[in-house]
Amino acid sequence: MTYDRLVCANCAAPVNEGRCRVCRAVRQQMERERDQGPFSGLNPAMLIALMVLLVAALALLA
């Protein structure tokens, strides 16, 4: 889930605007979590290319 669609229960504003301290805290937490994934440095095109290579390698083995 992305924080641009979340609505804060504290101030009833979108979280991505960061109007209150709760919004800012949630936004920072979600940004930290997003940066910690194993494939966080890869863009979607690279992930698709890796998947195609994996399927091709499996096809060669079969």
Using 50, 70 and 90 to split pLDDT, how confident is the model at 3? low
Question: How far is residue 61 from each of residues 11, 56, 58, measured CA to CA in Å?
Answer: 56, 9, 5
3-state DSSP call for residue 7? strand
> pLDDT tens-digit profile of 4-60?
678 888 888 888 788 899 888 888 888 887 777 777 677 888 889 999 999 999 999
pLDDT at site 5:
77
Return d(Cα 5, Cα 7) in angstroms, integer.
7
Q: What does pTM read for this prediction?
A: 0.49
Asked if residues 21 and 13 have their Cβ atoms less than 8 Å apart, the reply is: no
Asked if residues 34 and 42 have their Cβ atoms less than 8 Å apart, the reply is: no
